[in-house]
Structure 1
């Protein structure tokens, strides 16, 4: 999740985002190219106007929201877990909200902790993969009024848990964004895997790596609810860049534990396109996409993206992050690309759509400023579809940090701004947002502040 600055950023200087933060501006005119209606298939019409009004500074200094919206702090790093297992870990990242019994909601939340993390996920018997690793997930159970009933460790001993994705059977696939092997950074086991987490009954899933799904710098996943195929992104911002994968399980849609039965991991090959950053025009489509079996999914000797995929090669992309299923397609995000890092071209964020039934890949949205490099809209990270229509984007860049909404006309509005200054009055800094997701009924938006780790529930006049 955490990454270097996006193209054209000016870390340390006053940015457009900081100006917006000081003025309370809610709408920015940015370059958003592409058929944004593509993103809203299967949802209600996206908002017909840009935003809910200016952001109102929060007297408590936590979260600025438009007038009429309210937030509740559900959990903060360092506070005691209600289970008594230890303190709430830090580095709150990817998250989902799953339905429970009697109207309850299960929030499962990643903690992107490395070996040096100050507040690691407490180790728990039966839920710990590698006692030397400090990442993992915690789970919150909420009642029908949004009050926290329980909070506990859901998996521990994993590393750099960045994003992931929900399954059709209401579990969470948490992804390790690392390739460290046993003996590196003090780890006692290899890392770089996906783990399944059942927030309602964590011991049911335990801490078992889904090794057939590959060992690489995982970011996010999306499950095709019709075929059970799992799509996976690889977040690599240095060459060789990451790949877009699909996993064909032996027991598709079999419920909790079915992914342990194994399957086949393949990587996407787009004819004539070795690097997705070279494509700049929205609407550009490529038919005949093929999927090439990964020679060594365990990456025993060589990272997957460096393996031999034959004379035609394979398709790479820098910073592959968000991934989600909508309608009959899977969408995935390239957060940015920089030619200075070795990409074929620069961009400030792309959203790609892959249609499995057509074997077609299309560039549907390009993020980023047109003339002012500090305008909001670059480096999209976690993305989700709002139940009432529209797109919610956690932006990962410099300066003030926002959750932005996007209408189908490409208008961008600020929905939330992090007010927790972790810098100084002279040189303010704000932690990024992550894990934006909605309750099953669409009435509440949940989102994390990465640092200081804080989980918010936001309610208001959604429409």
Structure 2
């Protein structure tokens, strides 16, 4: 099936309400919600069908409503320039007096449509078009401020919050100085302080590695940072951990350096070869990365000894739950070099037991073009469940998954950036909940739009 045909078929399914029936999930869903209370994890089937938005922006179930917090091209409230394009990973951090701090990535490449404005003291490389913006909201989701939080970085895809209230933004590139006009090497993690961005500055955390970063999750007890790599070609990415010198951490503590290691699962060179949910691997090993700065050779190409290292295609979302770290492989395709095909996996690593478990396998029941493929950004919902941003073809959704394994469409992007005959929709990204659990924040990648969604979340 061609991509355009698949998109048309998915539009028909969306209009008829048959979309949700096409999704299949296999595995032990309760594992995903470790650390939540029994009251939170009862879950529900869904919130009802999605209602077309007369404004053509965001379709939601009855009883839910949205606010547009920010759109690309509009003036930043700080007066520093325009709201940048390509809204991607995001976090919602608690502030004083009920305020919420949103930190939002902008995945701009060298030819970014609306670049992040350069600001003195917050710019790493003037040639970089990516970075982050920070919004401060009051308890009613009114925007109090919006400003540049870091500039001059490149391809800021995802990242993750820290237990001490900052955001780690990740560059998904390996471009070095002299490539695409850049004046400095790229492929680093940067810490962003949403309250005072100048306090964190634009300092690359070089010890955490230079590679095509995607997302991170922090072990709140040990301060260990887990990192995913979304490499676009073979050999595919690795799953890393960073052992900081200063643990369990605090603002600026990661600048002190530490050790970067990559995960080796004995006997498993490629995670895509594992197809059965519940498959467990004990004795996971962590191997020091020979050259974290990848001065001559990208890390995934480096020599990890005769036992090699474990790779996986499309390592993306990453979060900490209970006492484990969870990470997503969006898909694997043997035609592109993976050992086997799949439509999305969620893996769980328990540091205490050194055990890796395949928890969930995504996949459509009938056709590979239907939803249920390519999970990307992911977060836990306060109502007891999971929210998953879809990054596939055709119509784009935020899907909910209950603890019982029931899947439902929570939101649908109604902004058609194609034509009436060949519609096209930007992916969702950066899904996150307010500290009080009353608001879901989510980005539409293009046209860059940040939404606040409120409604009966705890129904």
Q: What's the TM-score, normalizing by structure 1?
A: 0.97
Which whole-Å CA distance do the structure 2 matches of 1:439 and 1:351 have between them? 24
Q: Which moved more, 1:381-390 or 1:215-224?
A: 381-390
Give the 4+ runs in structure 1 shifted more than 6 A. none
CA contact (8 A) 2:371 2:392 kept: no
Q: What do the CA deviations read for 1:60-110 (whole angstroms, capped 9, x no partner)?
A: 000000000000000000000000000000000000000011111100000
Q: Report matched runs for 1:345-360 at 5 Å.
A: 345-360=340-355
Select the residue among 27, 36, 44 that pairs with 2:29.
36
Offset of 1:410 from its aligned partner? 1.8
Find the counterpart in structure 2 of residue 11 from structure 1: 3
> Equivalent residue of 2:295, what SS?
coil
Which whole-Å CA distance do the structure 1 matches of 2:181 and 2:23 have between them? 45
CA contact (8 A) 1:43 1:388 kept: no
Which whole-Å CA distance do the structure 2 matches of 1:441 and 1:450 have between them? 25
CA contact (8 A) 1:25 1:55 kept: no
CA contact (8 A) 1:28 1:376 kept: no
Offset of 1:388 from its aligned partner? 1.9
Call closer, same or farther: CA 1:47–1:405 in 2, change over 3 Å.
farther
Which whole-Å CA distance do the structure 1 matches of 2:221 and 2:44 have between them? 34
Q: Report matched runs for 1:170-189 at 5 Å.
A: 170-189=165-184
Which whole-Å CA distance do the structure 2 matches of 1:40 and 1:138 have between them? 30
Structure 2: stretches of 5+ with no match in the other structure: none
Which whole-Å CA distance do the structure 2 matches of 1:314 and 1:425 have between them? 47
Find the counterpart in structure 2 of residue 387 from structure 1: 382
Call closer, same or farther: CA 1:345–1:371 in 2, change over 3 Å.
same
Which whole-Å CA distance do the structure 2 matches of 1:57 and 1:323 have between them? 31
> Equivalent residue of 1:133, what SS?
coil
CA contact (8 A) 1:241 1:316 kept: yes
Which whole-Å CA distance do the structure 2 matches of 1:299 and 1:271 have between them? 24
Say yes or no: does 1:212 pair with 2:207. Answer: yes
Q: Report matched runs for 1:131-280 at 5 Å.
A: 131-280=126-275
Q: What do the CA deviations read for 1:353-401 (whole angstroms, capped 9, x no partner)?
A: 0000000000000000133323311100000000221000001000000
CA contact (8 A) 1:27 1:51 kept: no
Which whole-Å CA distance do the structure 2 matches of 1:367 and 1:217 have between them? 24
Say yes or no: does 1:365 pair with 2:360. Answer: yes
Which whole-Å CA distance do the structure 1 matches of 2:317 and 2:417 have between them? 26
Select the residue among 387, 399, 408 that pairs with 2:403.
408
Say yes or no: does 1:84 pair with 2:79. Answer: yes
> Equivalent residue of 2:4, what SS?
coil
Find the counterpart in structure 2 of residue 318 from structure 1: 313
Structure 1: stretches of 5+ with no match in the other structure: 1-8
Q: Report matched runs for 1:42-121 at 5 Å.
A: 42-44=35-37, 45-46=40-41, 48-121=43-116
Which whole-Å CA distance do the structure 1 matches of 2:24 and 2:232 have between them? 23
Count of residues paired in the alignment? 455
